[in-house]
Amino acid sequence: MVVEAVKNHVRVVLCDDHPIWRSGVRADLGENFLVVAEAGDAGEAIAAIRTHNPDLVVCDLHMPNGGGIAVAKECGADTNIVMLTVSESERDLLDAVAAGANGYLVKSTPPEELRSRLWAAAKGEPVFSPALAGLVMGEFRKLAKASGGTQPLSDREREVLQYVARGHKYKEIGEELFISAKTVENHVRNILKKLHLSRKQELIRYALDHNIE
C-alpha cells in the first residue's frame, strides 16, 4: 500500500550516486521534507526503502546496479517514487513510468517547483516536469489505438485521465474542469476500478497504450 504524506512533513529516501548532489537536493527540500536515508546505488536504495518505509523516494535514473528503473520495479508498488534526472529522453521517461515511478522531474527544476511537485507526489499524484508533458502526448499519437473500438471510460473520465497522463495535480485538473480536487480523486479511483488497475502510474501507461489524448 502506498503511504501518504503526513500533515507536516514528508519522509524521504534520497538516492543518487553523487554525494554532493544528494547534499544539494537535501538542502533544496527544506524543512517540510525529512531525509530518513540516502543511497548511492539501486541495491542500497531498495534496502533503505524496505527499512524506512518512506512516504517518497527521490531517485536518480542512472545509478549503479540497475539505477532508478530497478528501484521502481522493486518498490513502486509500495511507495511513491519520483525520478530526478538530467535525462529528457522520451524513452527514459516512459520506461520509468512503466517500471512503477509516479513522477519524473529534471534536475534543473527550480527548488520551489521541486518542493511543490514532490509534496504532491508524496500524496500519490503523478508529477512531471512541464517540458516533458509533450513527450507523453507525442507518444499518444504513435501508439496503436484501443482495440475493439470500445472505451470503458466516460467522457469525463477520459478528460481526467488525459490530464493525469500530462502530469497535472488533482487541484490543477479540478480548476481546468471546474470540479473539486476531491471529485478528481474520485474519478481516478473509478478509473482504476473500471480498468482493474491498482496503481495510479498504471493510468499513464493505459493512456499511452490506448491513444487517449
- The residue ranges of every structural domain in the chain are 10-132, 143-209
The residue whose grid cell reads 522520451 is 90
The pLDDT tens digits of the residues spanning 16-28 come to: 999 999 999 999 9
Query: What is the arithmetic mean of pLDDT over 4-23?
Result: 84
The pLDDT tens digits of the residues spanning 156-201 come to: 888 888 887 777 778 888 899 999 888 887 887 777 666 655 555 5
Residues found in the chain: 213
The pLDDT of residue 192 is 66
Would you state the cell numbers that stand for residue 129, as one nine-digit string?
516536469
As a whole number of angstroms, the distance between CA 176 and CA 170 comes to 10
Q: How far is CA 113 from CA 37, 121, 186, in A?
A: 23, 12, 26
Q: Which among 120, 96, 99, 123 is positioned nearest to 109, based on CA atoms?
A: 120
The pLDDT tens digits of the residues spanning 94-123 come to: 788 778 888 899 999 999 999 999 998 998
Query: Which is higher by pLDDT, 171 or 14?
Result: 14
Q: How far is CA 204 from CA 4, 84, 116, in A?
A: 20, 18, 21
Give the relative orientation of helices 155-165 and 200-209 as an angle to the nearest 10 degrees.
Answer: 100
Please give the CATH number for the structural domain made up of 143-209.
1.10.10.10
Would you state the CATH architecture of domain 10-132? Answer: 3-Layer(aba) Sandwich (3.40)
Give the relative orientation of helices 170-177 and 181-194 as an angle to the nearest 10 degrees.
Answer: 100
